[in-house]
A and B are shown apart, each in its own frame.
Chain A
């Protein structure tokens, strides 16, 4: 393709700075290449999901005799079987009872920290932020034994936990998830809050607003897009959390829904189509949250990114 076939560079006022000499961020040829790469990547990412979706609607006995590269054996039974065998009703409720408090507490606590870190300059501000971030980088596996032993020693009244300790209680999971997610949330929120113009706070102070009011009535409404984006991410992460649930919970009726997927596997035998149907059921709430909050998610993450 010669340079002459390249389209004329659309010149929009004030935006020309961003366009390179070769004609825009993406000219037609680059655009094509980029599209193809993205298409391939999208297929690579989507294929396993679509494959699972496809096979979740087929009966195991059909795929067993005809192989997976066949067409037919349609059924919706996998879904009803998965729902009843996996006890998804109970386990989805468990997941809800863990995820919602954990996300709310995480966002509340980390917004408090972020507010202080962004609004006041203490000498150890950066250190504090660093500590929060470092804790976020620590692999949870490294803390398995200390956390497990600690929770075993912390007594809880029996109305809070049947076992009398933190083990086997939702409190343990809410606490652990909150602790592990706070670092990231604090980091994102404090960066976001730093982009808010300082003048707002000066005028607020002139009008006699105290610190609490500056936080609750001024900052929180302004960071709502960031909170929405974080809430979306946090719901996904806490909901998908598997590691701590299997370590801290050993009572079958308290396990969250991700662990309940294992209920669909037998000691030896696994009906893969049934497991596929179960996985789709488990993935649905996350997908719904994502699609509903998609707009906030994208705008929340990019807002403020150019202002540094």
Chain B
């Protein structure tokens, strides 16, 4: 992913047939009746692609109509709700239709998603990219949106994130947030530290922190998902993005020497992490970084919510340095949020017209102009005027990254992530010497879950 100029060029100058080639070859690799059945529709959608005016997106031709919008933020719960609601209102005004909003709090929405989709889902609903999305595509619970793509201002990386196993798009990205190593500028300045550029810098920095009685890394594992961030980044730094993605899809083994090496490396890093992490929430870990007890904290940008107001402006971050020069440091976790259309939407055309609007730069600007805090828009044409310093830097970091992962619990099967891997990572933190038995057990369960 490069600058926004080249992104536009990608979507407007590369002929649709060339883009389709990638999809077709992807398809050839896929086996199974579902994929075979998908061929004719895929070809016809490619044919349609040629006729489309480039860059504007096919969804623009879909006729607007009344839509129901399922939002994963409770009414009045803060900026995230304000943004969604503002976009829905702006669209209702612009298209002259009614958008009925259904606001459910984030965690309830996510936990009851399968009954939601099987029951009476809204036409368009907020969801996440990655395996979490493609799972529903495979089950036929969300609608094919390949005629909404390409979307003006959405880079190829985002298109990839919206693509399911069958090579078609089922998702429209809205925003994202990167995971990186956060620190307090004033603490670094006071101690004469600087952002490490290489592994040697990094190790020297951590040693120096320890010498000054500051724990290098804040760390928490009470929120079971939190340690996944460390696993993701170590795996991507040691084995590369492609290996990481194949591992999450079950194409590589969890008991392979590569994964063991990740745990071995993590074990050597444990002395640099806060102890007794299992009883600590990420908010407490963030607080200890804010107090200067810990030097750094690897977390998503939401870390700012966990530190006191007066320290928020003092935060800065850097991407995790390379641990292997041949692999480099160009991959990172940056979970993407966005929207899907449910398969049994009452009016699919109206849903597609709405979702096209939601993916546009215009919608992102409406959202950011009316909410008390902005999101980082996936659409590169969106205005960055409202962004804070951390967000501006996030954009830069993500644009410089070659590959973007979605975070382990979004990249793999939810059962595997939430029951097996969370427990195994906590087990590892308790008994770092049991790497062999832990990796073997993950592999056995991964095999039975992913098949």
Contacts and interface: CB of A to CB of B under 8 A. Distances in A.
A85 interface: yes
B102 A252 contact: yes
Contacts of B308: 61, 64-65
Interface string B258-277: 00000000000000000000
Which are the 5 A-B pairs with shortest beta-carbon distances? A263-B74, A269-B305, A252-B104, A252-B103, A163-B120
A81 to B, nearest CB: 10
19 contacts: A61-B308, A85-B77, A152-B120, A165-B120, A167-B120, A168-B120, A246-B112, A250-B102, A252-B103, A252-B104, A253-B75, A262-B108, A263-B74, A263-B77, A265-B106, A266-B78, A267-B80, A267-B302, A268-B300
A interface, how many residues as a size bin?
20 to 34
Given A148-B119, A246-B112, A266 B104 contact: no
B302 A252 contact: no
Contacts of B300: 268
Contacts of B108: 246, 255, 259, 262
A251 B102 contact: yes
A61 B309 contact: yes
A307 B120 CA distance: 52
A250 B120 contact: yes
A101 B76 CA distance: 29
Interface in B179-233: none
A270 interface: yes
A61 B287 CA distance: 10
Interface string A262-304: 1101111110000000000000000000000000000000000
B105 A148 contact: no
B81 to A, nearest CB: 10
A87 interface: yes
Most buried by A among B74, B282, B302, B309: B74
B220 to A, nearest CB: 12
A276 to B, nearest CB: 15
Nearest to B303: A268
Nearest to A165: B120
Contacts of B121: 250
Nearest to B79: A266
B107 A87 contact: no
A164 B308 CA distance: 47
Given A84-B76, A87-B74, A167-B120, A250 B305 contact: no
A168 to B, nearest CB: 6
Interface in A240-267: 246-247, 250-253, 255, 259-260, 262-263, 265-267
B80 A250 contact: no
Interface in B53-103: 70-71, 74-78, 80, 102-103
B115 interface: yes
Interface string B113-134: 0011011110000000000000
A148 B80 CA distance: 30
Given A252-B75, A252-B102, A268 B120 contact: no
A253 B116 CA distance: 15
Contact of B74 (A163, A247, A262, A270): A262
A250 B103 CA distance: 9
A173 to B, nearest CB: 14
A269 B78 CA distance: 11
B116 A269 contact: no
A229 B232 CA distance: 55
Contact of A253 (B103, B107, B305): B103
B383 to A, nearest CB: 24
Given A87-B75, A165-B120, A268-B282, A250 B104 contact: yes
A262 B107 CA distance: 7
